Amino acid sequence: MSVTPDNPAELSRRTLLGRAAAAGLLATPAVGLLGACATSGSDQGSSTRAEGTKSAGNPLGVAEDAPLEVVIFNGGYGEKYATDVHQPLYRKAFPKAEIKHQSTQAVSTVLQPRFASGNPPEFVNNSGEKLIDFGSLVADGQLMDLTEMWDAPSVGDPTRKVRDTVVPGTVEAGSFNGKPYVLYYVSTVFGIWYSGKLFRDNGWAPAKTWSEFTALLDKIKARGITPYGYAGANAAYYQWNVILTHAAKIGGTDVLKNIDNLEDGAWQQDAVRQAAEAWAEIGAKYVDKSFEGLKHTDVQLRQNQYKLAFYPSGDWLEGEQEKDTPPGFEYQLMPVPSLTSSDRLPATALRATAGEGYFVSAKSKNPRGGLEYMRQMLSVAGAKGFTEVVKAPTVVTAGSEGFAFPPGVASSQAALKAAGQDVFNLYFDGWYKELDTEARTATNELMFGRISADAFCERLQKRADAIAKDNSVAKFTR
Amino acid sequence: MRHGRYPFVVGFLVAPVTLYVVFVIAPYAQAFQISMTNWRGLSAPRWVGFDNYRRLLDDGSFWKAVQHHGVLLLALPLITIAIALFFAFLLNVGGKSSGGQRQGVRGAGFYRVVFFFPQVLAVAIIAVLFQMVYRPNESGLVNGVLMKLGLDPVLFLIRPNLALWSIIAVLVWQAVGFYVVLFSAGMAAIPGEIYEAAEMDGASRVTLFFRVTLPLLWDTLQVAWVYLGIAAFDAFAIVAVLSVDSGGPDGATTVLAMEIYRNAFVYSKYGYASAMGVALFFLTITFAALTLRLTKRESVEY
């Protein structure tokens, strides 16, 4: 068996390439058996879960000496609030427990293999661009039911349950099919932002109605400033958020509920079409075409340079831009203006929710420790400490009292108060990532003039229908 | 002396083959397995047979990506090889002949280094660099100049018809340097006498190129074509970093690797993403096999 060429020169590049390909193909079936490794063993989890005795000081029955692993997303809020505030609180309550702290900017890269191998950390701050899809985590039974934690007595005041110490809607924001799995900790208000200084200097006032709004945009344009803009390259969801907020104000909050529940024709409701039409016109007249190719940091910087007047975002914007904001800029929030006088909700209505998700892994070794960590976070001391470190309000009602927020967050808190009961939220982007992606793409198409409002609605409806029919996607309703 | 040869050879091969099997072959095989399941990457996968492949058939973004690979497959090798050949020819035999030996153009050594620069840079850096070049406003390298001249900015990555070609331009810019070097090495191996003889017969530079250089470089060209073709099936890093809205606008620049990434790491559909991976695997293999078959031709011995 002498297949080896006696003359090495015969082994040309051609035969070498050919043989390598053949070898690769032959080798494939032979090692098929090896394939079982990365996907196996994921269902076992930890068979023994730490549990202690319940008492007044330990209502969740935490094993006092069980170690606890905490993974924090090191993004806009950093990790200092965890290491300097929350972890000392837990240690004070359970001095024998060892806390292993870890922080990352790519949550799914670090943790997905840990879940797959059945060894997840107890407590996770699942956030950032690389978060693990919450819907998948819930569908795969990886998350601990938080009902017990919400019903436990709060840390400072044992007569009140934890769920009664937070702003209404917090538990619902983290619920999937009615069961609470995620704690959204940071109070977030969405709106359209402008510089208080720029507007004062030019004698402009924020708009309440659509005609006021377009008149104002015309004035701004005449001053040589781009009136409105968002970043198409990576932050188109800031804009679909505005369109859908507007739709909810026009047609009532059920408009969004229908969208979240993947109802037939939800995206083709009149309110959605009207909102899309109105904003397509803004896109055509007042948005710089180049913004489609810019990232959110670029566009936000332009606003800080007074080259852009209005920018839609949540109230994390002020903190995020802290380094680039010129002194006296003064971020201010304007709720999305009313379209007509027959709008269902008043002009003050806005989208607000709790943001920044935290969960406890059901298949970790010490899930009760994770629940307790959450309860400590939701104590007044935990919330106050968080707000002092990151300058953002938490969902704990007593946590922000007496804190002097910077102008932007102060204005969003004031707007939230003014909105009263007319506060709403939407969920589909967290439940169905594909629909979020499609909404981003369609929003760019709409705002930069490539499709009409009708086509926008039709396109999104088509994708929503496809998801509703797809049996591989876990469904949620509210 | 033949006995004892196999243990010797095997001794050398054990480590690399093991590494190759564990880190290359096994994941490939596993992709086949996962593609038959509905797996979210967290708990155990559920077997669904060929469902994922059926789904591929009417997935618009998948076919869009395949179509873009078609364009890349034609444009990338053609443009890159043409430019690289031209440069390599000038660098090696494009100048005057001295002492019967053909020389490159003046400053050939310098150009050789310059052409190779892009190859030294990491792909991610190149993508970030071109973000600056293509930036659609006054701070962009190209558009800054255009706008100073009072012209409208060119929306390179934003106009759906232009976006893919802007991406291809980056891929070509990055690849050319390597192929200049590869072709230079090939040309250096062509004996000088052949050129000398051709020149005595009165061949011009153009004739030299088409009648002497090109045929004698056939093997190298073929390898270049296969490499570039395989590169055309990738293009992920540039698209991911450079394009608007990850493969946009509206999927105008998306490639299979981008769709795989999106399905796996954004939608948590690892099974479906693996099915795309398997499709990509077969596309690549088919391409390589076809190219080797179609370009089969006697090579000239010298």
Flag whether A27 is in a domain: no
Residue A193 half-sphere exposure, CB side, CA atoms within 13 Å? 29
Question: Tokens for A135?
Answer: 């819907």
Question: What mean pLDDT is predicted for residues B214-238?
Answer: 88
* Number of separate helices (H) and strands (E) present in chain A: 20, 11
A355-414 per-position pLDDT tens digit: 889 999 999 999 999 999 999 999 999 999 999 888 889 999 888 887 888 999 999 989
Question: Tokens for A332?
Answer: 């201010």
Assess whether A269 and A299 both reside in one domain. Answer: yes
* Number of separate helices (H) and strands (E) present in chain B: 15, 4
Of the listed ranges A204-213, A421-430, A442-451, the least confidently predicted one is: A421-430
Closest by CA position to B68, among listed B138, B148, B165: B165
Residue B82 half-sphere exposure, CB side, CA atoms within 13 Å? 7
Closest approach of B22 to chain A, Cα-based (Å): 9
**Residues of chain A contacting residue B30, judged by C-beta atoms under 8 Å apart:** 34-35, 37-39
Yes or no, beta carbons of B272 and A437 under 8 Å apart: no
Residue A233 neighbours by CB under 8 Å, 6+ apart: A292, A293, A294, A295, B244, B245
Assess whether A232 and A294 both reside in one domain. Answer: yes
3-state secondary structure of A194: strand
**Within 10 A of B142 (CB to CB), how many other CB atoms are there?**
15
Beta bridge partners of A350: A423
pLDDT above 80 for B10: yes
pLDDT above 60 for A107: yes
What does the buried/exposed string (b/e) look like for A180-202 if buried means 16 or more CB atoms within 10 Å of the residue's CB? bbbbbbbbbbbbbbbbbbbbeee
Question: Tokens for A377?
Answer: 């976070």
Assess whether A227 and A336 both reside in one domain. Answer: yes
pLDDT of residue A10: 44
pLDDT of residue A27: 38
Are A242 and A351 in contact by the 8 Å Cβ rule? The answer is no
Which chain A residue lies closest to B250 (C-alpha atoms)? A441
**Pairwise CA distance, residues A52 & A50, whole Å:** 7
Complex ipTM: 0.84
- B132 in reach of chain A (CB within 8 A): no
Residue B40's pLDDT band (boundaries 50, 70, 90)?
A: confident
Question: What mean pLDDT is predicted for residues B24-52?
Answer: 88
pLDDT of residue A199: 95
Assess whether A306 and A286 both reside in one domain. Answer: yes
Flag whether A458 is in a domain: yes
Residue B99's pLDDT band (boundaries 50, 70, 90)?
A: low
**Pairwise CA distance, residues A330 & A322, whole Å:** 11
A297-324 per-position pLDDT tens digit: 999 999 999 999 999 999 889 888 888 9
Assess whether A81 and A128 both reside in one domain. Answer: yes
Note which residues in 33-72 of chain B have CB less than 8 A from chain A.
33-34, 37-45, 48, 51
Are B190 and B213 in contact by the 8 Å Cβ rule? The answer is yes
pLDDT of residue A25: 42
pLDDT of residue A11: 47
Assess whether A228 and A326 both reside in one domain. Answer: yes
pLDDT, averaged across chain A: 87
Domains plus CATH for chain B? 71-294 (1.10.3720.10)
Residue A197 neighbours by CB under 8 Å, 6+ apart: A328, A329, A330
CA distances from B273 to A89, B23, B34, B36, B52 (A): 43, 19, 9, 11, 9
Which chain A residue lies closest to B55 (C-alpha atoms)? A470
Yes or no, beta carbons of A34 and B26 under 8 Å apart: yes
Assess whether A175 and A322 both reside in one domain. Answer: no
**Pairwise CA distance, residues A250 & A272, whole Å:** 8
- A257 in reach of chain B (CB within 8 A): no
Closest Cβ–Cβ partner in A14, A31, A433 for B25: A31
Q: Which residue has the higher pLDDT, A21 or A474?
A: A474
**Residues of chain B contacting residue A12, judged by C-beta atoms under 8 Å apart:** 219, 299
Write the CATH number for A290.
Answer: 3.40.190.10
**Residues of chain B contacting residue A18, judged by C-beta atoms under 8 Å apart:** 292
pLDDT above 50 for A224: yes
Question: What mean pLDDT is predicted for residues B269-277?
Answer: 93
Of the listed ranges A223-227, A379-383, B7-11, B25-29, the least confidently predicted one is: B7-11
Residue B98's pLDDT band (boundaries 50, 70, 90)?
A: low
Yes or no, beta carbons of B244 and A132 under 8 Å apart: no
Residue whose token pair is 């096999």: B289
Question: What mean pLDDT is predicted for residues A59-69?
Answer: 90
CA distances from A378 to A126, A143, A356, A362 (A): 17, 19, 14, 20
Beta bridge partners of A310: A228
pLDDT of residue A85: 93
pLDDT of residue A26: 40
Flag whether A241 is in a domain: yes
Yes or no, beta carbons of A472 and B269 under 8 Å apart: yes
- B249 in reach of chain A (CB within 8 A): yes
Flag whether A475 is in a domain: no
Region for A118 from its dihedrals, namely left if φ exceeds 0, alpha if ψ lies in -120 to 50, beta otherwise: left
**Pairwise CA distance, residues A432 & A59, whole Å:** 35
Beta bridge partners of A449: none
Yes or no, beta carbons of B42 and A290 under 8 Å apart: no
Are A18 and A11 in contact by the 8 Å Cβ rule? The answer is no
**Pairwise CA distance, residues A126 & B248, whole Å:** 27
Question: Tokens for A115?
Answer: 């879940």
pLDDT above 50 for A228: yes
pLDDT of residue A462: 95
**Residues of chain A contacting residue B249, judged by C-beta atoms under 8 Å apart:** 232, 292, 441, 444-445, 448, 450
**Residues of chain A contacting residue B269, judged by C-beta atoms under 8 Å apart:** 472
Flag whether A244 is in a domain: yes
Yes or no, beta carbons of B249 and A292 under 8 Å apart: yes
pLDDT of residue A34: 35
A76-90 per-position pLDDT tens digit: 788 999 999 999 999
pLDDT of residue B12: 87
**Pairwise CA distance, residues A435 & B150, whole Å:** 41
Are A300 and A229 in contact by the 8 Å Cβ rule? The answer is no
Yes or no, beta carbons of A13 and B223 under 8 Å apart: yes
Closest by CA position to A368, among listed A100, A58, A153: A58
- A326 in reach of chain B (CB within 8 A): no
Of the listed ranges A20-34, A260-274, A307-321, A441-455, the least confidently predicted one is: A20-34
Closest Cβ–Cβ partner in A25, A136, A444 for B249: A444
**Pairwise CA distance, residues A120 & A131, whole Å:** 15
Which chain A residue lies closest to B296 (C-alpha atoms)? A14
CA distances from A405 to A331, A419, B174 (A): 12, 19, 49
What does the buried/exposed string (b/e) look like for A116-129 if buried means 16 or more CB atoms within 10 Å of the residue's CB? bebbbbbbbbbbbe
B46-77 per-position pLDDT tens digit: 888 888 999 999 899 999 999 999 999 999 99
Closest approach of B89 to chain A, Cα-based (Å): 22
3-state secondary structure of A195: strand
**Residues of chain B contacting residue A135, judged by C-beta atoms under 8 Å apart:** 268
Note which residues in 25-64 of chain A have CB less than 8 A from chain B.
25, 27-29, 31-32, 34-40, 42-43
Closest approach of B96 to chain A, Cα-based (Å): 33
pLDDT above 70 for B287: yes
Assess whether A317 and A330 both reside in one domain. Answer: yes
Flag whether A13 is in a domain: no
Question: Tokens for A226?
Answer: 């781009």
Yes or no, beta carbons of B135 and A142 under 8 Å apart: no
Which chain A residue lies closest to B226 (C-alpha atoms)? A17
Are A65 and A97 in contact by the 8 Å Cβ rule? The answer is yes
- A465 in reach of chain B (CB within 8 A): no
pLDDT of residue A31: 34
Q: How many domains does chain A have?
A: 2
Question: Tokens for A211?
Answer: 């005609």
pLDDT of residue A105: 87
Flag whether A419 is in a domain: no
3-state secondary structure of A143: strand
Q: Omega before B249 cis (within 30°)?
A: yes
Are B237 and B260 in contact by the 8 Å Cβ rule? The answer is no
**Pairwise CA distance, residues A285 & A355, whole Å:** 33
Closest approach of B233 to chain A, Cα-based (Å): 16
Assess whether A216 and A183 both reside in one domain. Answer: no
Assess whether A144 and A216 both reside in one domain. Answer: no
pLDDT above 60 for A456: yes
The whole domain housing A137 covers: 68-188+353-413
**Pairwise CA distance, residues A163 & A172, whole Å:** 11
Per DSSP, the residues of A213-236 read: HHHHHHHHHHTTSEEE---TTT-T
| First-to-final CA distance of chain B | 32
**Three-state SS string across A334-391, please?**
ECCCECCCCCCCCCCCEEEEEEEEEEEECCCCCHHHHHHHHHHHCCHHHHHHHHHHHC
Closest Cβ–Cβ partner in B157, B250, B262 for A445: B250
pLDDT of residue A252: 92
Flag whether A476 is in a domain: no
**Residues of chain A contacting residue B245, judged by C-beta atoms under 8 Å apart:** 232-234, 236, 440-441, 444
Closest Cβ–Cβ partner in B29, B48, B272 for A35: B29
Question: Tokens for B196?
Answer: 């000398």
Residue B129's pLDDT band (boundaries 50, 70, 90)?
A: very high
What single DSSP character describes residue B152?
Answer: P
Assess whether A143 and A205 both reside in one domain. Answer: no
**Which secondary structure element, helix H or strand E, spans residue B51, and what is its range?**
helix B51-57
A240-284 per-position pLDDT tens digit: 999 999 999 999 999 999 999 999 999 999 999 999 999 999 999
pLDDT of residue B101: 62
- B21 in reach of chain A (CB within 8 A): yes
Closest Cβ–Cβ partner in B40, B136, B157 for A140: B40
Note which residues in 194-233 of chain B have CB less than 8 A from chain A.
219, 222-223, 226
How far out from the chain centre does Cα A474 lie? Answer: 19
Question: Tokens for B211?
Answer: 């009648």
**Within 10 A of B81 (CB to CB), how many other CB atoms are there?**
19
Residue whose token pair is 């070498």: A16
- A234 in reach of chain B (CB within 8 A): yes
* C-alpha torsion sign, points B33, B35, B36, B42: positive
Of the listed ranges A150-164, A272-286, A300-314, B208-222, the least confidently predicted one is: B208-222
pLDDT of residue B301: 59
Instruction: Give ∠ CA A420-A425-A426 in degrees, rounded to 5.
Output: 165
Q: Which residue has the higher pLDDT, A33 or B176?
A: B176
pLDDT above 50 for B162: yes
Closest approach of A94 to chain B, Cα-based (Å): 31
Closest approach of B37 to chain A, Cα-based (Å): 10
Assess whether A441 and A295 both reside in one domain. Answer: yes
